[in-house]
Structure 1
């Protein structure tokens, strides 16, 4: 079996969703560490650190998803160009 062409929109959607999931994980970690660092900072910067961590949970998945979508589309496009020259990826299945 040889993959000769990848649908660009399909690849972009999948990579966008995967990247958004990683963005959510990164946002959750930032939220947790923002809470820990906020409690260590006391009254001066604690609220700001917690708010930044909360915003990371919202913003990072969106940004990761957008850039993952764009990156996936570019990669699929380049794969299609390269596969036209060299014939694609050969996959063995049972």
Structure 2
């Protein structure tokens, strides 16, 4: 294998947006679970209401984080594509099999 240094000239806005949506959804899942665990001792309700509220909180957290990640990823890729000429791009080292 040889190493090759290349520059990223263009980022696909949709692919970056979807990547960050999925990554952020995973962060949202973790944040939602931690929030439920942290709030569990303070919940003064029946167990079924507490479980339902916890599940709903996790679902909302995943959705909100995914939407934020999608929008943030799209904006970042779009801006990268606009400033590529001025910045010279991002260098990436790749291992190439011959």
Q: Which TM-score applies when normalising by structure 2?
A: 0.78
Confirm or deny that 1:2 pairs with 2:7: yes
| Distance in structure 1 (CA, Å) of the matches to 2:39 and 2:55 | 8
Q: Bigger relative contact order, structure 1 or 2, given CA contacts below 8 A and separation 6+? A: 2
Structure 2, unaligned runs of 5 or more: 1-5
Q: CA RMSD in A?
A: 1.8
Which residue pairs with 2:3 in the alignment? none
| Distance in structure 2 (CA, Å) of the matches to 1:52 and 1:81 | 43
Structure 1, unaligned runs of 5 or more: 39-44
**Between 78-87 and 64-73, the greater mean CA deviation after superposition:** 78-87
Change in Cα spacing, 1:34 to 1:52, as seen in structure 2 (3 Å) is farther
Q: Which TM-score applies when normalising by structure 1?
A: 0.81
Count of residues in Structure 1 that have an aligned counterpart in Structure 2: 87
| Structure with more of its chain in strand, by fraction | 2
